Structure formats: structure tokens, C-alpha cells
Amino acid sequence: MIRKFRLGHPYDTNAVILPLEAESVEDFPFKSGINDGCFEFSFFMQKDDIVYGLGEAVRGINKRGWIYESYCSDDPFHTESKRSLYAAHNFIMLDGSGCFGIFVDCPARVRWDVGYTQTAETKITVFAQAFDIYLITADSPREVVREFRSAIGKSYVPPFWAFGYQQSRWSYHNAEAVDRVVRGYDEAKIPLDCVYLDIDYMQSFKDFTVSENAFPGFKEYVSAKKEQGIHLIPIIDAGIKKEEGYEIYDEGIKNGYFCKNAEGSVFEAGVWPGVCAFPDFLNPEARRWFGSKYRYLIDMGIDGFWNDMNEPALFYSVKGLNAAIDEAVNAKGKNLDLGGFFHIKDVFAGLSNRREDYSSIWHSIDGKMVNHQEVHNLYGACMTRAAGEYFAENYGGKILMFSRASYIGAHRTAGIWFGDNHSWWSHILLNLKMLPSANMCGFLYCGADLGGFNDNATRDLVLRFLALGVFTPLMRNHSALGTRDQECYSFGGADDFRDIIEVRYRLIPYLYKIFCGASENNDLIFRPLSFDYPGDKIARECETQLMLGDDCMIAPVYEQNVSGRTVYLPEDMRLLKLSGTRVESAELKKGIHYIDVALNEVPLFVKKGKKIPLCQPALRTRDLKTDELEFV
Ligand code: GLC
């Protein structure tokens, strides 16, 4: 059952598509009240209760014991101490002494104190005067998710080729660099379907332009790659370079499509291209305009995009930067002590993504000026909606689209990636833990930067990361400028990488079927073990393994210098060790086992009476013979 409670006249976030009568928030059956102008409500947790949800967030599958904040943030340090990442996924669920889910449909900041201040209490604070809250009750957590997901609508299904392996790096600067990547993979006979174009494909980081120097004859180039079976996927950023004569900027200015300052001038802040204006994606007309701009690249043969920097990321506001420079100039020649030096350092370090800069942004919604803080968490989602609606109208389901920032509702038109993680072993597990949580919120096409984005990766880390990535719908290796190369052919011993990625291609028909089924039935691809084995204490507490579809369990290796890992089997299962076209198989009894997993192996646990279809690998998804399947 699902009930909706309303306070005031909330902004229509487009998250819920099921029409429901709203009850007054006064009838909301939880302890609640107004504190400091904010609506607060809470529920109690028994000792063994689990709290799931919050989608893309730090820490565990069980969210107990921390404060999280829905406030889309460009933060490349995904450590336990953080409260916010790029997304605002306002769905939380209790399982144990009760079974219910809560969706706070509010694009302003929301704080989730899940037993941090009071161990046995979850307190939720909504920093807004108008919102909807949905209460979903059912017999099991999986049913709660299904009920919630049926209210928010079916999840985005990308084109089939988007299940192939994808290689990215900031940045393949020109056509020769892209060619080197394709050649590297082809020579090593490692499957590959996509190569990404990061910001350097543009002229001076301007959206919807292509650098003639870097990619001469871009259209012909895209089509030549397509013939080789390679899709090029360009990035699109939220900020539009301030430059007279640049068509997008000029049109935005002429039509009033950019976000404003309080007094009506255009809000400006620095991002990659320098000073930028920011399209007012909250304004439907501006959204239609921006969406139609993707056509420039689609007409050149492009059929996939990633939307970035759309929290929106602000490196600095002109006002903030000038004030910081003034302070530094003032300090010149002075003997700076502890306080003096660190103050200057903090002033510069604090220039990016300042809340006070966000507060100075204004949107035009239905003819009314709305402050950005009221809708902050929708900005990136509306950028993606701009593109998604344009694609849906004009290109059916043929375009791949995923975004960094997101809000529930965007799951209908796009996927997400989990942003700038690190080449850290702990991030393999973080990646794993986000998967079921993201699925609960409707985001099925998702994945992390495999191998890690920031920092230098090692060969064993990339292999182990990829062995988890074999199962994630988005399987993309991406890394930052200046880090060690982490393409599969970069480390020597490419055979091991081929063995892992071939397993992905062998599984694609099966994974695609699970994916489409999950979208169609509002179900999860990845579930915590506790969903399936609610009475089993070890399963309930397991945070390093996941159920995949209805037949399997996955348990990737996530530590360095180990030859395998301990796995808990909540029932008898068959262990498949998949490597290239080889399949080793062993029957294991319910209980705890140590399993050896070589660097070129992918372990998969299959439940009794289930069979897994495998096809022969191919270098491209288009060459997969998806109707010639063998069953294990
Ligand atoms: C952001 C993105 C990252 C990208 C970089 C340069 O940090 O999250 O994926 O490579 O910008 O565009």
C-alpha cells in the first residue's frame, strides 16, 4: 500500500507518476513536528532492524549509524566521513520489526540521521516548507521496493550494445589517441564496444562543439569507428562557456535560458572552460532548448552521452574568487602564523561548491523566481530530463544516456555512474554496496569507474574491479588525467584481462534478460542477501556478497594480495569459476567456505535447479550469437 502526505504546494519533481490523493502531513503516522522551520519526523529501530536505501551514498547497504544528506555534491573523495555524494535518492526502508519504505519527494536538502545521534532512532529533516512524503508498506522489503518502483515508473533500458565493455579516460585528446585504444584492445583480442570522449574533444570545453584540430572530419571519423563496431560517447557538461559569438551562449542569453542572480543578471561561475552560465534546466522551455542541442552530435553519428558536472559543480564564483585574491594580496609580505596561513589556505580550498553561491542562483519556474536551494537536487536530473525527453521523442530507445547528478524520476530516462571514486581496494566494496541501494531507487543502468578514477591503479586492482564489473550493467573502465594508464593492455599479461572481459560477453544475453525483467517488473537486479534469506542472521548482515537476479549470488574478491575470499552460502549452491571460455564447477554446501579465485577468474554461485545461459564471446556485442546458448 502506498500513501501520500503533503505539506504546502510542492514543486512538481516528476518523480512519482502514479496519481494518488494527498493526505495532510498532519496525518502522517510518525512522530513529527516543525523544528527551526524544518519538518522533522522519526521512527524507532529495534536492535536487529536493517535500514536500506539512499541509493548512491557512502558506507554500507545497511545505512544505520551515520548521518547522510541529500544534497547533490561534486565531491571526489568518497570516504566514510562524507554525508553527500552526487545524487539525491530520497528513499529509505526499514526491515525487521516492521516493513515500510519512505520517499521524501523534495528537491531541497534532506538530512537522514540513521541512528547517529540516537542509536535507536532515525530522524529525517526536510529543509523545505513544501513537499510530499510517501509511505509504502508491504510484507517484504522486495515488495516494498516493487510497490515504490511501480509508483515512480519503469527504469530506463539502454541500447543492447551498452552492455558491452567500455573504455574511458580523461582524456583521449585526439583521434590518434582513440585509435590507439581501439588498436590496443583489438591487438590483445579483448572485447570492446565503446570509447569515451572526455572534455578535450570540444573546442575550449564548449558543449556541442568538436575540436577540428583534435578530430578533423568528426562525422566521417564517428562513422569509421561505427564500422569497426565502436561507439564514441562524448561528455556534456552543465556549464556553458561565457563567450560572445558561441552560439549556445548567445541563444541562452537572448532567450533568458540561463540561471539568474537575485537582481536578474546572469549567474556566472567558473568550471572547465572558465567563467560559465548555467542553463535553467528547471524551466521547461530552456530544457527543450538544451535537449535539442544534442542533435548536433547525433547528426554526426553519435548515439550515447554522459552528462557531467551537473550538481552543478562550481569551481568558483567570480565574487568568491575575487574576495579570496584580495585576502591573499593583503597577506603578502606578512608573517603568517598558524591562524593566518591556514585561513588563507581554507579560503581558497573553500571556493568550490559553496552553499552561499548556490543560494545566489535563481530559477524561473512557471513564471515565478525560485531560489536554487529549494530545487538544488533536481538540477542535474533536469539536465538529463532535457536530453532524455528529446531522445525519447526523436530517437526511441536508441541513445545511451547516463548522468553524474540524479534524483529519483531520472531513472526513467537515464542511468548513472557513481562519480569520481579512487583506485582503492575499499572502493570495490563501496561499488558493490551502492548497487542494490541504487536499484531500490529505480537506477538499474549504473556502475562505478572500474579500476578507480583518481590515483594510480595496480594491475591486480583493475582485474578484481573488472571481475565485479562483469555483472554491473554499465561496465566502464575510467581514470583521471595524470594517473597511471589503466586500459586492459597497459599492464602486460593481457590474457588475464581478456579472460575476465570475455566472461562478460558470454553472460550478456543472460544479464540483459535480467536487466529487462527488472525494468519491466519494477524489480532489483542486485539484492542484499537478507531480502532472500530473512531469517538467516549471517545473510542478514552480509555486506560483501549480493544476490543477482533470481538464480545467482556474486562474491567478488576485494582485497589485495589474497588468493581468494571467504564466502557465505545461505543454501547449497554450485560455484562456477568462469575464465575466458573455461568453466570450472563445484558443488558447495550451505555454510562458510574459503574459495580460491585467480586474478583471471570470475566466481558465480548458482542456486539449485537453475541454469545459466552462456554464449560464445566476441570482440563486439554486435557479433554475439545470442541465440546460440549453452547452459551451465
Ligand atoms: C569529472 C567527472 C570525470 C571526468 C572529469 C573531466 O571529474 O566526474 O568523470 O573525467 O570531470 O571531464
Mutate to test the pocket of ligand 1, among 86, 198, 307 (most ligand atoms within 8 A of CB): 198
pLDDT (average), residues 621-630: 97
Q: How confident is the model at residue 531 (pLDDT cuts 50, 70, 90)?
A: very high
User: What span, in angstroms and rounded, lies between the C-alpha atoms of 138 and 145?
Assistant: 9
User: What span, in angstroms and rounded, lies between the C-alpha atoms of 466 and 501?
Assistant: 8
Mutate to test the pocket of ligand 1, among 77, 195, 197, 235 (most ligand atoms within 8 A of CB): 235
The x, y and z cell numbers of residue 375, run together, are 530545487
Q: How far lies 445's CA from each of 18, 404, 623, in Å? A: 22, 12, 22
The alpha carbon of 453 and the centre of ligand 1 are apart by a number of angstroms equal to 9
- For every residue of 38-58, DSSP letters joined together read EEEEEEE--TT-EEEE-SS-S
Per-residue confidence (pLDDT) for residue 396, from 0 to 100: 87
Domain ranges of the chain: 2-152, 512-631
The alpha carbon of 481 and the centre of ligand 1 are apart by a number of angstroms equal to 9
Reported as type and span, the H/E element at residue 381 is helix 379-395
Tell me which residue has its CA closest to atom 3 in ligand 1: 420
pTM to 2 decimals?
0.97
Closest CA to 191 of 500, 450, 420, 584: 500
Alpha helices in 309-352 (DSSP H): 318-331, 338-349
Find how far residue 557's CA is from the centre of its chain: 22
CB 473 within 8 A of CB 508: no
- Which residues are CB-neighbours of 138 under 8 A, at least 6 positions away? 1, 99, 100, 144, 146, 147
Closest CA to 468 of 448, 441, 496, 494: 448
pLDDT (average), residues 38-61: 98
Strand ranges (E), 97-154: 99-105, 110-114, 121-126, 131-137
- Which residues are CB-neighbours of 346 under 8 A, at least 6 positions away? none
pLDDT tens digits for range 495-528 = 999 999 999 999 999 999 999 999 999 999 999 9
**Least confident window among 224-233, 388-397, 562-571:** 388-397
Per-residue confidence (pLDDT) for residue 264, from 0 to 100: 96
The CATH architecture to which 2-152 belongs is Sandwich (2.60)
**419: Cβ below 6 Å to ligand 1?**
yes
Q: How far lies 39's CA from each of 19, 27, 94, 378, in Å? A: 24, 14, 20, 20
Q: Is 16 helix (H, G, I), strand (E, B) or coil?
A: coil
Atom of ligand 1 nearest to the CA of 480: 10
Alpha helices in 26-162 (DSSP H): 141-152
**404: Cβ below 6 Å to ligand 1?**
yes
**Peptide linkage before 312 cis (omega within 30 of 0):** yes
User: What span, in angstroms and rounded, lies between the C-alpha atoms of 300 and 524?
Assistant: 36
Atom of ligand 1 nearest to the CA of 237: 12
Atom of ligand 1 nearest to the CA of 198: 12
The alpha carbon of 332 and the centre of ligand 1 are apart by a number of angstroms equal to 34
Tell me which residue has its CA closest to atom 10 in ligand 1: 170
Q: How far apart are the first and last CA of the chain?
A: 39
Q: How confident is the model at residue 397 (pLDDT cuts 50, 70, 90)?
A: confident
User: What span, in angstroms and rounded, lies between the C-alpha atoms of 276 and 290?
Assistant: 15
Closest CA to 110 of 90, 81, 80: 90
Alpha helices in 117-172 (DSSP H): 141-152
**7: Cβ below 6 Å to ligand 1?**
no
**198: Cβ below 6 Å to ligand 1?**
yes
Q: Using the predicted structure, report yes or no on whether residue 61 has a pLDDT greater than 90.
A: yes
Q: How confident is the model at residue 127 (pLDDT cuts 50, 70, 90)?
A: very high
Closest CA to 488 of 472, 507, 470, 471: 470
User: What span, in angstroms and rounded, lies between the C-alpha atoms of 477 and 475?
Assistant: 7
Task: Give residue 417's identity as a one-letter amino acid code.
Answer: W
* Percent of all residues in the chain with a pLDDT value above 90, rounded to a whole number: 99
pLDDT tens digits for range 156-192 = 999 999 999 999 999 899 999 999 999 999 999 999 9
- Same fold flag, 2-152 and 512-631: yes
Atom of ligand 1 nearest to the CA of 170: 10
Mutate to test the pocket of ligand 1, among 56, 169, 170, 276 (most ligand atoms within 8 A of CB): 170
The alpha carbon of 420 and the centre of ligand 1 are apart by a number of angstroms equal to 7
Task: Give residue 154's identity as a one-letter amino acid code.
Answer: K
Closest CA to 466 of 498, 434, 421: 498
Q: Which fold has domain 512-631?
A: Immunoglobulin-like (2.60.40)
CB 286 within 8 A of CB 246: no
Q: Using the predicted structure, report yes or no on whether residue 471 has a pLDDT greater than 90.
A: yes
**235: Cβ below 6 Å to ligand 1?**
yes
Mutate to test the pocket of ligand 1, among 167, 201, 309 (most ligand atoms within 8 A of CB): 309
CA dihedral 247, 251, 254, 258 (to 10 degrees): -120
User: What span, in angstroms and rounded, lies between the C-alpha atoms of 231 and 119?
Assistant: 49
